Structure 1
Amino acid sequence: MEEINMILEMAEESMEKALRYTASELKKIRAGKANPNMLDGIMVDYYGVMTPLNQASSVSTPDARTISIRPFEKKMLGDLERAIINANIGLTPANDGEVIRLNIPPMTEERRLNLVKQVKSEIETAKINIRKVRQETNDEVKKLKNDGVSEDAIKIGEENVQQLTDKFIAKTDTMFEVKEKDIMSV
């Protein structure tokens, strides 16, 4: 039973990792409001080293429709602007010589529905990853039969794996509902 519990702990850790990754991906999907996380993943050439934009500048949201980017060094303005344009996030930077502003346009109903589809796709990927962990864990539990573990213990282990899977699938469903509500609220 101790071996089964160890396998279950590793499975839970893997499923938790899949949820964390999905949560980070969902943060990047904008919901009509300005959010500094929308710029996560944008890299800028900072003295020859590719650096995340938020480590080369101060990113803030002065209001619900604007993201303000103030570089730590003025001469980086052009590089930051180019990085934003090249990231192809659908926003046009406005450079006033001190700060880059990104105005977030209000979303159309069609755009909101497309974003919900994108969120649904991310959630499905998370569910697939969780089910993959379930399959691998069940395989590990079944291998214990060769090590002399009783069939009853293996059956209980498989039931525990399924309960764990159901718990994490429910968490992904909750993540979807929260993000969908966020996107669809005007």
Structure 2
Amino acid sequence: MIEEIKQDAEERMRKTVASTRDSMARIRTGRASTALLDHLSVDYYGTDVPISQVATVAVADARTLTVQPWEKHMLSVIEKAILESDLGLNPATAGEVMRIPLPAMTEERRVELGRVVRQEGENGKIAIRNIRRDAIHTVRELLKEKEISQDEEKAVESSLQTLTDQYVGQITEVVEDKQKEVMEV
């Protein structure tokens, strides 16, 4: 019973760290990244699908993405989706390939994105602490029902705290790495 609680908490914490990493990947930095377009979808025969399912998205160089749709008529649809997004990108179509130059970020924009990165990290840490709280609550319920001893409860709380510290540390590392990336000129 206790092991199941700890395993469940650890699994949920691992997923939280992965989710935080994913949300960080979507935050634009000075470098080109295919993750920048991951959340954009286009209309493909009446169905909304991610751009990556109708085209090849690649990094041409540090400041340029290329998008090559598998069907030529999708070029204008993809271009429209990129222009309507809040990314501030201006794609240029050349034949069957779309080039998307990433404009250099201003210092003000970098600072703003740094705040967004910190906030995303804080949200991840809060989620991990909530997972710990839920697990400890479950353990205390077991103690009330006399299914475990106080010593076992303290041991589980201690190991949950260790897990929490470990995963909060991972999120801190992700945030620090992303902030360095954002502040790079």
TM-score (norm 2): 0.96
Consecutive aligned runs of 4 or more in structure 1 exceeding 4 Å deviation: none
1:92-111 equivalent positions in 2, closer than 5 A? 92-111=90-109
**How many equivalent residue pairs?**
184
SS in 1 for 2:73: helix
Q: Which residue of 2 aligns with 1:176?
A: 175
Q: Which residue of 2 aligns with 1:166?
A: 165
**Cα distance in 2 between the residues matched to 1:104 and 1:22:** 24
SS in 2 for 1:74: coil
Pair 1:143-2:141 in alignment: yes
**Cα distance in 1 between the residues matched to 2:115 and 2:182:** 11
Q: CA deviation at 1:184?
A: 1.4
**Cα distance in 2 between the residues matched to 1:147 and 1:71:** 62
Q: Which runs of 5+ in 2 are unaligned?
A: none
Q: CA deviation at 1:53?
A: 0.2
1:1-186 equivalent positions in 2, closer than 5 A? 3-145=1-143, 146-186=145-185
Q: AA paired with 1:120? A: R
**Cα distance in 2 between the residues matched to 1:92 and 1:185:** 22
Q: CA deviation at 1:99?
A: 1.6
Q: AA paired with 1:158? A: E
**Cα distance in 2 between the residues matched to 1:159 and 1:35:** 40
| Cα shift readout 1:11-57 (whole Å, capped 9, x = no counterpart) | 00001111111100100112101111100110011111111101100
Q: Which runs of 5+ in 1 are unaligned?
A: none
| Cα shift readout 1:44-75 (whole Å, capped 9, x = no counterpart) | 11111111101100111111111111110111
| Cα shift readout 1:110-155 (whole Å, capped 9, x = no counterpart) | 1111111110010010011001101100001111111431111011
**Cα distance in 1 between the residues matched to 2:147 and 2:56:** 59
**Cα distance in 1 between the residues matched to 2:166 and 2:32:** 32
Residue 77 of structure 1 contacts residue 97 of structure 1 at CA under 8 Å; is this kept in 2? no
Q: How much is the aligned-residue C-alpha RMSD, in angstroms?
A: 1.0
